[in-house]
Chain A
């Protein structure tokens, strides 16, 4: 996970410039066109992750079924070992086999770690500008996943796992849009060199255009319907379903941004959403203060 020094500036960005508005319209148009014509490259879920998730979703799934699949993906297997032997799951004795490790974690935690691993791989880029954005976005997504799961726990909801997965995936389209934007930018400045919009504007364009791509990737990855619905509904509060998972994710997303783990979004807008969210979901500020008090440390210390 990226170091916290990469966290986005906490001050509110300046009002969007006309260039940003034009770029938003351009990127939205481009993304829609490519999505509808199936011409946008949506990163696939790694084969091992797809197979493992398919296996977990089978009604007669046994944890041992996941072992041969994990054995073919050393990165994922290493992650499973690491978590199974972490303080969180340790039973005092080191787990040295994959079967012991997956048994220790259980199916629900295994599903989360598979998605976490796939998502983490996506938030990397060789391009330094995209890499910086990815580092921020990954850190933000991990924080939203942690906080969403913990908020469910604190208010007595039983859909913490779905909230966690939705948090991990809610910005998954950003690296793809960042690449699209970078392509467009290179075409515009070709021959002249340099960039034509600043970093802050760049982040804003991505924040405002990634949602259809995020949704498309989550669908492509075969996420559960509750997670897809949650991601789809998390852009704005729905007053008709006040305590929906989508509203909860929208609220936690804003809380995390206000807590300083933003990705270049408008912090004032996030503050507005937190004010609405407390009333929308009927959550006391004391709970969210507790939830956010050490979120930066937690996200830098531990894996989801």
Chain B
């Protein structure tokens, strides 16, 4: 349990600090002035000192100087109503970790004590996964839609996968307030709405949500390439055309919120996930697999495994997988890694169709592949 000393001539302040630190599971030692604190520190050690500046008998800066003179490197946070830079500057030269101005908020005390004691928080709450984001919750949200016509947000909400969370706002001010509150993955901006469809606003969004893709929502023009260039000049990364259709929203979702793990590597075992989408997305599915295999094989080689076991049990046995596996075979050969496939017997037929894949070993389960 971390031990913290609060040095303050105000009993009320010591009491508040003790209560707040006790809630953080800290053991708290109290001292009324610098002299009492130094005496107490002779018989005990603490991990952090919260030190007031103005106190009777011995003030904070004098105590700090004596503490440092004795060789102590105990972290000190100045907690004081003193804000003169000359006074705090002197304390900084003596070695203080941080500074809290009275009156202070509990969160500031907790944050700075945690930082000084190098205490870590519990893992952050998981992202909002339900369709409706909770304003003011501070949680990450997938989509922020900025449009002065309310129906646009309603329409997109009905077409989006319920797992994708979304917040709709109708003004620039509301959008900036939302960006201060939540991190967003994608920000959709009405391109016909002059208040928001300009580079200055986009740069403000980027400042508040640096990781977000900021996408313009224009009406589809006759020359999309020209519009895209104009949109990019204003700082948008792409266009998402209005009016939305189920297909365009699905494309949008697939591009930005693809939560499927297409290929998972665990040591020498590469497991290909099943296909969960519409049949017309097969091409994209195999395209992703083709892109994911080379780094996965490099990982196998880098970890010094002689063989890669590729579990294809979940995939539909279509011709495209042979094309993917042909590339896998070449990459594995280049890396000096053997490949053993696990999959249904029908896959053999597909493999036999290609010169590069017909020699690949196929097994019905992983244990057989490993014992082969």
Are B198 and A89 closer than 8 Å at their CB atoms? yes
In the complex, chain A residues whose CB is within 8 Å of the CB of B177 = 156
Closest to B181 in A: A156
Give which listed residue, B101, B105, B230, B235, contacts A280 with CB less than 8 A.
B101
Closest to B112 in A: A279
What is the distance, in angstroms, from A136's C-beta to the closest C-beta of chain B?
22
Give which listed residue, A150, A276, A282, contacts B105 with CB less than 8 A.
A282
Closest to B83 in A: A239
Q: How far is the CA of A120 from the CA of B204 in the complex (A)?
A: 24
CB-CB contacts below 8 Å: B84-103 with A: 84-85, 88-89, 92-93, 98-101
Are A290 and B235 closer than 8 Å at their CB atoms? no
What is the distance, in angstroms, from B84's C-beta to the closest C-beta of chain A?
7
CB-CB contacts below 8 Å: B23-52 with A: none
Q: Is B256 an interface residue (CB 8 A)?
A: no
Closest to A160 in B: B204
Give which listed residue, B83, B199, B210, contacts A89 with CB less than 8 A.
B199
Are B83 and A280 closer than 8 Å at their CB atoms? yes
CB-CB contacts below 8 Å: A141-177 with B: 150, 153-156
Give which listed residue, A153, A275, A280, contacts B207 with CB less than 8 A.
A153
Give which listed residue, A156, A276, A291, contacts B83 with CB less than 8 A.
A276
Closest to B101 in A: A279
What is the distance, in angstroms, from B283's C-beta to the closest C-beta of chain A?
34
Q: Is A271 an interface residue (CB 8 A)?
A: yes
Are B235 and A87 closer than 8 Å at their CB atoms? yes
Are B108 and A282 closer than 8 Å at their CB atoms? yes
Are B98 and A154 closer than 8 Å at their CB atoms? no
Contacts known (A153-B208, A236-B85, A272-B88); A88 close to B200, Cβ less than 8 A? yes
Are B210 and A154 closer than 8 Å at their CB atoms? no
What is the distance, in angstroms, from A218's C-beta to the closest C-beta of chain B?
23
Are A239 and B89 closer than 8 Å at their CB atoms? no
Contacts known (A153-B176, A282-B105, A290-B210); A236 close to B203, Cβ less than 8 A? no
Q: Is B348 an interface residue (CB 8 A)?
A: no
Q: How far is the CA of A273 from the CA of B101 in the complex (A)?
A: 12
Are A275 and B99 closer than 8 Å at their CB atoms? yes
Q: Is A268 an interface residue (CB 8 A)?
A: yes
Are B204 and A153 closer than 8 Å at their CB atoms? yes
Are B98 and A155 closer than 8 Å at their CB atoms? no
Are A269 and B85 closer than 8 Å at their CB atoms? yes
Give which listed residue, B93, B200, B208, contacts A154 with CB less than 8 A.
B208
In the complex, chain B residues whose CB is within 8 Å of the CB of A272 = 85, 88-89, 92
Q: How far is the CA of A71 from the CA of B235 in the complex (A)?
A: 31
Q: Is A57 an interface residue (CB 8 A)?
A: no
Q: Is A11 an interface residue (CB 8 A)?
A: no
Q: Is B233 an interface residue (CB 8 A)?
A: yes
In the complex, chain B residues whose CB is within 8 Å of the CB of A282 = 105, 108
Q: Is B265 an interface residue (CB 8 A)?
A: no
Q: Is B220 an interface residue (CB 8 A)?
A: no
Are B85 and A88 closer than 8 Å at their CB atoms? no
Q: Is A191 an interface residue (CB 8 A)?
A: no
Q: How far is the CA of A242 from the CA of B203 in the complex (A)?
A: 28
In the complex, chain A residues whose CB is within 8 Å of the CB of B176 = 153, 156
Q: Is B10 an interface residue (CB 8 A)?
A: no
Q: Is A90 an interface residue (CB 8 A)?
A: yes
Most buried by A among B83, B176, B210: B83
Closest to B177 in A: A156
Are B234 and A237 closer than 8 Å at their CB atoms? no
Closest to A86 in B: B199
- B residues with CB within 8 A of A: 81, 83-85, 88-89, 92-93, 98-101, 104-105, 108, 111, 176-177, 180, 198-200, 203-204, 207-208, 210, 230, 233-235
Taking A150-B207, A237-B83, A272-B88 as known contacts, 15 extra A-B pairs with beta carbons closer than 8 A to each other, sorted by chain A number, are: A87-B233, A88-B203, A89-B199, A90-B198, A91-B198, A154-B208, A236-B85, A239-B101, A269-B89, A272-B85, A275-B88, A275-B98, A276-B101, A278-B99, A280-B101
- A residues with CB within 8 A of B: 86-92, 150, 153-156, 236-237, 239, 242, 268-269, 271-273, 275-276, 278-280, 282, 284, 290-291
- State the 8 A-B residue pairs at the shortest beta-carbon distance, nearest first: A272-B89, A88-B199, A279-B101, A92-B230, A239-B83, A87-B199, A88-B200, A275-B99
